[in-house]
């Protein structure tokens, strides 16, 4: 069967709501702070914020926030099962600098474009067809990302 141009365009218009082609315009949230990757690292804390290691420890084990334990083992007592999709994070701060940890939490696809790890402070315009409640949002706030990093740098 061959489609004429007109029919093809009609088909595209009909499919647009299904494929999300009309939903590409995602605005950056007003409070989004931009960041820069240099030498596979992000030196500057997001929005210039200070992280809090105790809050970070709560965020990594909260399945509604970081949910890191779904994929990583962390030295947190009382957790029955850890995910093994990602490497264990014990000793992460002796393998990487804070800036190298930051890029991996913010958007690790800058290191590994095929990574399945969520970019917790990825530019929301790059997130592929998010569900409506998540549109234009980062998975964690800048403060939460800095808290998580403050916790991870204690893991020597």
Question: CA torsion angle for 104, 108, 114, 120 (degrees, to 10)?
Answer: 110
36 Cβ neighbours under 8 A, 6+ residues apart? 42, 44
In whole angstroms, give the CA distance from residue 31 to residue 144: 14
Three-state secondary structure call for residue 38: strand
| Range 86-145, binding ligand HEC (CB under 6 A) | 86-87, 89, 92, 95, 101, 104-105, 108, 112, 115-118, 120
> How many residues of this chain bind ligand HEC (CB under 6 A)?
25
Residue 68 sits in the site that holds ligand HEC (CB under 6 A): yes
Q: Which stretch binds ligand HEC (CB under 6 A): 8-16, 25-33, 85-93, 127-135?
A: 85-93
Residue 66 sits in the site that holds ligand HEC (CB under 6 A): yes
Residue 60 sits in the site that holds ligand HEC (CB under 6 A): yes
| Minimal distance, residue 11 CB to ligand HEC, in Å | 35
In whole angstroms, give the CA distance from residue 88 to residue 150: 17
């Amino acid at each position: 069967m061959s489609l004429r141009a007109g029919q093809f365009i009609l088909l595209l218009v009909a499919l647009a709501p299904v494929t999300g082609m009309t939903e590409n315009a995602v605005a950056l949230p007003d409070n989004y702070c931009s960041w820069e990757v240099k030498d596979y690292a992000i030196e500057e804390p997001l929005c210039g914020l200070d992280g809090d290691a105790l809050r970070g420890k709560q965020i990594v084990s909260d399945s509604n926030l970081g949910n890191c334990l779904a994929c990583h083992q962390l030295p947190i007592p009382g957790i029955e099962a850890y995910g093994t999709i990602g490497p264990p994070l014990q000793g992460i701060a002796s393998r990487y600098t804070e800036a190298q940890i930051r890029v991996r939490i913010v958007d690790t696809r800058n290191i590994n474009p095929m990574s399945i790890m969520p970019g917790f402070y990825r530019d929301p315009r790059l997130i592929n067809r998010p569900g409506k409640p998540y549109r234009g949002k980062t998975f964690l706030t800048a403060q939460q990302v800095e808290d998580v990093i403050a916790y991870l740098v204690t893991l020597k």
